[in-house]
Amino acid sequence: MEPQVIKAGWLTLRPFTPEDIPWVYEVSLDPALQQFVELPSPYRLENARFFVEELAIAGWESGHRLEFLAEDAATGARLGRAGLGVGRQGIAEIGFWVDPEARRRGVATTTVRAVCAWAFETLDLEIIEWRCEVGNHASRRVAEKAGFLEEGTLRKRLFHHGERVDAWVGSLLKDEALRRVSA
């Protein structure tokens, strides 16, 4: 699939480039991110390179992972990311994080809403799922603000820091997302 750019008000959502590797590395050292995202420990520059080149960039080629970097449309400052894992027919899973310097500004919510609207309009999706480790209240707030309905807790569904942990799970249906955009 050809990489896409999404205009989302004050944000531009664009594909990753190799120039984003140092930024991914710095953000991935954030303790809050490491607390809830399964990252190698210690996190090294080669881990950021792998994420950008082998997952974010190569994912567009296979169509199975569609990653967007959110940047300030006026300044080009990198602020966060959201990605879709496209798997089973008609279903994708969204993941996201925000640079610590950009938190509490609506970056994640705006990005998730825009990526979901784009995905429902562009891809043959009916459902986008969201999952996070139980206790990740920031991720849960973003999902709720973006229109996801929390469906429950899945026991021992995620693997984090060498052990299985419970996960909150929710979903957004195509008609719900498109109704929100047209309202």
pLDDT confidence tier of residue 88, bands split at 50, 70 and 90: confident
Domains of the chain: 6-182 (3.40.630.30)
SS3 content of the chain, % helix, strand, coil (to 5): 40, 35, 25
Cα–Cα distance list, 102 to 11, 80, 99, 147 (Å): 12, 8, 5, 21
Q: Please, what is the Cα angle at 121 between 124 and 64, to 5 degrees?
A: 45
- One-letter amino acid for residue 179 of the chain: R
Mean pLDDT of 152-174: 94
> What pLDDT band is residue 87 in, cutting at 50, 70 and 90?
confident
Return the sign of the alpha-carbon dihedral for residues 4, 72, 36, 19. positive
CA–CA dist 134, 152 (Å, integer): 10
How far apart are alpha carbons 127 and 174 in whole angstroms?
Answer: 6
pTM to 2 decimals? 0.94
For Cα atoms 38, 48, 73, give the angle at the middle one, nearest 5 degrees.
Answer: 100
In this structure, are strands 163-173 and 78-86 parallel, antiparallel, or unpaired? unpaired
CA distance 161 to 36: 9
- Residue 34, token pair as written in the block: 């490491």
**Helix H or strand E encompassing 179:** helix 174-182
Answer yes or no: is pLDDT of 101 > 80.
Answer: yes
CA 122 to chain centre: 17
pLDDT in tens, 21-71: 999 999 999 999 999 998 998 999 999 999 999 999 999 999 999 999 999
Residue 125's closest CA among 68, 62, 70, 171?
171
